[in-house]
């Protein structure tokens, strides 16, 4: 599996398990027992509960050690078994995980008051935490979860204890009351900032209250820390039902709030008291609709693909694959316009617009594949219509969201047979971004794995290295985001894409040239031809939308202000200012890149073509296009 640090450093959502105590109680283990000791006396039961969470979709299992510290075990006369209990708990979680989940060493509060509220000193508390953490470390945990703390000073000692033993990641979680603060009155803003300062890798909340109150707290925490946030709420507050304490939040309700927590910034989602595998399954399904759940990334074999290529296969050189590929391979500047597929089955208007691009001398048209999870005509069908009826090459976007491995292999072989040659391989926008948020996503692999798959097809091999006969001849492009929030992760992914066989990359729309310049400097060691995205703004509202709702796009304050002032003068003034900004951006980045992709806002191809007027080689085409538009 991927290193847990890579998971924490990524931008995807990861799923914790749910309650252990709730499940043990439901299996007839009464509350006067030491639940932690069951890892020794009833290991099959503990292992099976872990396994149920794995089947439900959990990606991180917490060990059954919440109270396995010296003070709490002493109350049961079990302090002498501390090491055995913690090691056994790790082993059971590891067996249930079977290599599919990470195992987190769970450490809860000591169950006593420390200074200044009680007689136990900070150092004494730290040593008690250290004894338990040492046993969990010996058992082989992947990370630590320090959870359900009300006293931030006590949690600090737990962090110190772990840090003195190892550098494994720490998820530090406080618990709050219905008023949104801890029982000591500490606000989410304060404890989130402190935990960040003290070295927690993930800062979060668990237990105490239900998802609605946790959501409000997470929204406050997001403003004071850049660390990933976690949220593991209870299934509501317990209610007394005929003498039994029951948690009333349904799995569907928890899943609904899981989506809201993710939108608020939480990246690690799970449940605490009252949550069961049924809750986690619903949460996992909700998360899968929002982002890929650890898609498999197929990287190159240790042996070079060339060594695996059948002897009778001639790999088509990049300069022979297509006109677009030839220009990319020869270092020539390329131009393309992004045009959305039609919403219905009639492509005539879309084709009419795209015909203008060929007349203007644009090299290719980019056809997005279900952008922002919208339902439109198949990108592949649109691309085929364009190439056959207009004769303009296409750069076909192809995403992993909607297809499994077999479907992707079939599609790509079909595209090759139909004569489509240029691909932009992307993971795909999650369904929650579109009008059908309950639609499921596949994400068998991500764009890195897809790049590797296409590269193998170009060498006459399928994903399993089996010969396919005549190889494909795709020009392989990938997406890249110079404005990613986690730029280090974006650069690592770009390195993997290049390693997997990418030939060129297209960026998100560029409004911050300094940002692009810095990104290009940082990828110089794996530099491939970069095609910059340019978006001609049409209004201040358009600029706001891109800046706030399109991941990876940053519209600078200066440009926002220019669009605001222009929009106050009217639509035409805003359009002209947006065009001017786009042309300035194109000239600013011209010497940094090997091509430009201009988006056609709201299908306005003529506006996209006007952007190219900033290039001397296109000025004549722009003038000709303007004349034809007036006829």
pLDDT tens digit sequence for 270-312: 999 999 999 999 998 888 765 544 444 444 443 457 777 888 8
Residue 440's beta-bridge partner residues?
none
In a domain, residue 477? The reply is yes
Residue 626: pLDDT above 70?
Answer: no
Q: Which residues lie closer than 8 Å to 555 by C-beta, 6 or more apart?
A: 511, 537, 543, 546, 547
Core vs surface per residue 525-563: b (16+ CB within 10 A) or e: eeebbbbbbbbbbbbbebbeebbeebebbbbbeebbebb
Q: Examine the domain organization and report whether 313 and 410 are in the same domain.
A: yes
- Of 416, 370, 417, the C-alpha closest to 397 is 370
CA–CA separation, 319 vs 327, rounded Å? 7
User: Span 442-456, mean pLDDT?
Assistant: 84
pLDDT digits (tens, 9 = 90+) for 463-502: 777 899 999 999 999 999 998 877 888 898 899 899 889 9
Beta carbons of 62 and 173 less than 8 angstroms apart: no
Most confident of 8-17, 318-327, 506-515: 318-327
Residue ending a domain, among 241, 267, 290, is 290
Residue 4: pLDDT above 70?
Answer: yes
CA–CA separation, 605 vs 565, rounded Å? 25
Q: Where are the alpha helices (DSSP H) in 222-322?
A: 251-264, 277-290, 305-308, 318-321
Residue ending a domain, among 257, 290, 323, is 290
CA–CA separation, 324 vs 387, rounded Å? 13
Q: Where are the alpha helices (DSSP H) in 437-570?
A: 447-458, 487-500, 513-522, 540-549, 557-569
Neighbours of 567 (CB within 10 A): 21
User: Span 56-64, mean pLDDT?
Assistant: 96
pLDDT of residue 301: 42
* SS3 assignment for 386-448: HHHHCCCEEEEEEECCCCCHHHHHHHHHHHHHHCCCEEEEECCCCHHHCCCCCCCCCCCECHH
pLDDT digits (tens, 9 = 90+) for 165-177: 999 999 999 999 9
In a domain, residue 295? The reply is no
pLDDT of residue 289: 62
Q: Six-digit token pair at 270?
A: 């799970």
Q: Which residues lie closer than 8 Å to 88 by C-beta, 6 or more apart?
A: 39, 40, 43, 139
Q: Which residues lie closer than 8 Å to 248 by C-beta, 6 or more apart?
A: 235, 236, 239
Residue 143: pLDDT above 60?
Answer: yes
Q: Examine the domain organization and report whether 258 and 388 are in the same domain.
A: no
Q: Examine the domain organization and report whether 555 and 587 are in the same domain.
A: yes
CA–CA separation, 443 vs 449, rounded Å? 10
CA–CA separation, 626 vs 162, rounded Å? 68
Q: Examine the domain organization and report whether 114 and 202 are in the same domain.
A: yes
Q: Examine the domain organization and report whether 331 and 360 are in the same domain.
A: yes
pLDDT digits (tens, 9 = 90+) for 146-165: 999 999 999 999 999 999 99
Which domain range does residue 285 map to? 4-290
Please count the structural domains in the chain.
2
Q: Which residues lie closer than 8 Å to 237 by C-beta, 6 or more apart?
A: 178, 209, 210, 247
- Of 427, 426, 428, 347, the C-alpha closest to 387 is 347
CA–CA separation, 248 vs 627, rounded Å? 68
CA–CA separation, 505 vs 489, rounded Å? 16
- Of 472, 494, 497, the C-alpha closest to 481 is 494
Q: Examine the domain organization and report whether 194 and 311 are in the same domain.
A: no
Integer distance in angstroms from the first to the last C-alpha of the chain? 62
pLDDT of residue 371: 59
Beta carbons of 150 and 109 less than 8 angstroms apart: yes
Per the listing, tokens 């786009």 go with 582
In a domain, residue 492? The reply is yes
Beta carbons of 23 and 49 less than 8 angstroms apart: yes
Q: Where are the alpha helices (DSSP H) in 98-235?
A: 122-139, 152-165, 188-197, 211-221
Torsion of CA 123, 124, 128, 129, to 10 degrees: -30
Among the residue ranges 27-41, 113-127, 455-469, the one predicted with the least confidence is 455-469
In a domain, residue 88? The reply is yes
- Of 145, 83, 69, the C-alpha closest to 114 is 69
CATH number at residue 60: 3.20.20.330
Neighbours of 11 (CB within 10 A): 13
Burial class from Cβ neighbours inside 10 Å (0-12, 13-18, 19+) for residue 324 reads buried
Per the listing, tokens 């640090």 go with 5
Q: Examine the domain organization and report whether 487 and 556 are in the same domain.
A: yes
pLDDT of residue 8: 94
In a domain, residue 296? The reply is no
pLDDT top residue among 58 and 1: 58
Residue 172's beta-bridge partner residues?
146, 203
Sign of CA dihedral 607, 609, 611, 613: negative
Q: Examine the domain organization and report whether 396 and 247 are in the same domain.
A: no
Q: Examine the domain organization and report whether 325 and 283 are in the same domain.
A: no
CA–CA separation, 441 vs 450, rounded Å? 16
Label the pairing between strands 202-206 and 170-174.
parallel
Residue ending a domain, among 255, 290, 325, is 290
In a domain, residue 299? The reply is no
CA–CA separation, 208 vs 182, rounded Å? 9
Where does residue 69 fall: left (phi above 0), alpha (psi -120 to 50 degrees), or beta otherwise?
beta
User: Span 330-342, mean pLDDT?
Assistant: 94
Please indicate, yes or no, whether the overall pTM of this predicted structure exceeds 0.75: no
Q: How confident is the model at residue 340 (pLDDT cuts 50, 70, 90)?
A: very high
Q: Examine the domain organization and report whether 10 and 108 are in the same domain.
A: yes
Among the residue ranges 111-125, 187-201, 225-239, 313-327, the one predicted with the least confidence is 225-239
Q: Examine the domain organization and report whether 327 and 191 are in the same domain.
A: no
In a domain, residue 175? The reply is yes
CA–CA separation, 272 vs 232, rounded Å? 6
CATH number at residue 566: 3.20.20.220
In a domain, residue 491? The reply is yes
Q: Examine the domain organization and report whether 33 and 104 are in the same domain.
A: yes
**3-class secondary structure, 523:** coil
Residue 518: pLDDT above 50?
Answer: yes
Beta carbons of 420 and 396 less than 8 angstroms apart: yes
Residue 98: pLDDT above 70?
Answer: yes
Per the listing, tokens 């009419």 go with 352
pLDDT digits (tens, 9 = 90+) for 17-53: 999 999 998 898 988 899 999 999 999 999 999 999 9
């Amino acid at each position: 599996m991927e290193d847990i640090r890579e998971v924490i450093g990524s931008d995807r959502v990861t799923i914790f398990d749910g309650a252990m105590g709730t499940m043990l109680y439901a299996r007839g283990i009464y509350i006067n027992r030491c639940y932690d000791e069951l890892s020794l006396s009833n290991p099959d039961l503990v292992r099976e509960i872990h396994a149920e969470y794995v089947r439900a979709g959990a990606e991180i299992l917490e060990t059954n050690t919440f109270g396995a510290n010296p003070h709490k075990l002493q109350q049961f006369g079990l302090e002498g078994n501390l090491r055995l209990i913690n090691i056994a708990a790790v082993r059971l979680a590891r067996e249930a995980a079977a290599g599919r989940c990470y195992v987190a060493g769970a450490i809860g509060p000591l169950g006593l008051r420390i200074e200044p509220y009680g007689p136990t000193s900070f150092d004494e508390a730290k040593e008690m935490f250290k004894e338990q953490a040492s046993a969990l470390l010996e058992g082989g945990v992947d990370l630590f979860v320090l959870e359900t703390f009300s006293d931030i000073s006590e949690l600090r000692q737990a962090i110190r204890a772990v840090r003195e033993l190892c550098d494994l990641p720490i998820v530090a979680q406080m618990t709050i009351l219905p008023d949104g603060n801890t029982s000591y009155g500490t606000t989410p803003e304060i404890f989130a900032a402190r935990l960040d300062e003290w070295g927690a890798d993930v800062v979060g909340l668990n237990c105490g209250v239900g998802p609605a109150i946790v959501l409000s707290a997470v929204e406050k925490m997001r403003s004071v820390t850049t660390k990933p946030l976690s949220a593991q709420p209870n299934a509501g507050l317990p209610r007394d039902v005929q003498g039994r304490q029951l948690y009333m939040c349904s799995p569907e309700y928890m899943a609904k709030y899981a989506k809201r927590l993710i939108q608020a910034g939480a990246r690690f989602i799970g449940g605490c008291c009252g949550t069961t595998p049924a809750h986690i399954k619903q949460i996992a399904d909700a998360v899968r609709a929002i982002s890929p759940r650890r898609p498999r990334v197929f990287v190159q074999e240790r042996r070079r693909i060339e060594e695996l290529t059948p002897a009778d296969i001639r790999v088509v050189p990049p300069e022979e694959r297509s006109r677009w590929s030839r220009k990319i391979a020869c270092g020539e500047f390329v131009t393309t316009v992004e045009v959305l597929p039609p919403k219905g089955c009639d492509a005539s208007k879309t084709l009419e617009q795209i015909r203008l691009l060929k007349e203007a001398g644009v090299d290719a048209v980019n056809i997005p594949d279900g952008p922002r999870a919208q339902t439109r005509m198949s990108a592949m069908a649109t691309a085929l219509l364009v190439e056959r009826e207009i004769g303009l090459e296409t750069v076909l976007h192809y995403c992993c969201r909607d297809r499994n491995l077999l479907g992707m292999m079939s599609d790509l072989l079909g595209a090759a047979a139909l004569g489509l040659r240029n691909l932009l391989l992307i993971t795909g926008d999650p369904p929650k971004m579109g009008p059908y948020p309950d639609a499921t996503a596949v994400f068998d692999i991500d764009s890195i794995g897809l790049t590797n798959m296409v590269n193998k097809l170009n060498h006459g091999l399928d994903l399993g290295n089996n010969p396919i006969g005549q190889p494909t001849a795709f020009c392989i492009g990938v997406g890249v985001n110079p404005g990613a929030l986690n730029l280090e992760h974006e650069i690592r992914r770009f390195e993997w894409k290049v390693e997997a066989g990418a030939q060129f990359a297209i960026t998100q729309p560029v409004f911050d040239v300094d940002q692009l310049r810095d990104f290009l400097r940082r990828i110089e060691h794996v530099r491939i031809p970069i095609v910059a995205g340019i978006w001609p703004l049409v209004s201040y509202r358009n600029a706001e939308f891109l800046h706030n709702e399109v991941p990876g796009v940053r519209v600078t304050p200066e440009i926002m202000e220019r669009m605001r002032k222009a929009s106050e003068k009217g639509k035409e003034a805003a359009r002209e200012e947006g065009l001017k900004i786009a042309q300035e951006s194109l000239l600013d980045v011209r010497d940094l890149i090997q091509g430009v992709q201009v988006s056609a806002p709201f299908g306005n191809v003529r506006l996209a073509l006007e952007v190219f007027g900033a290039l001397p080689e296109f000025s004549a085409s722009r003038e000709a296009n303007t004349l034809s538009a007036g006829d």
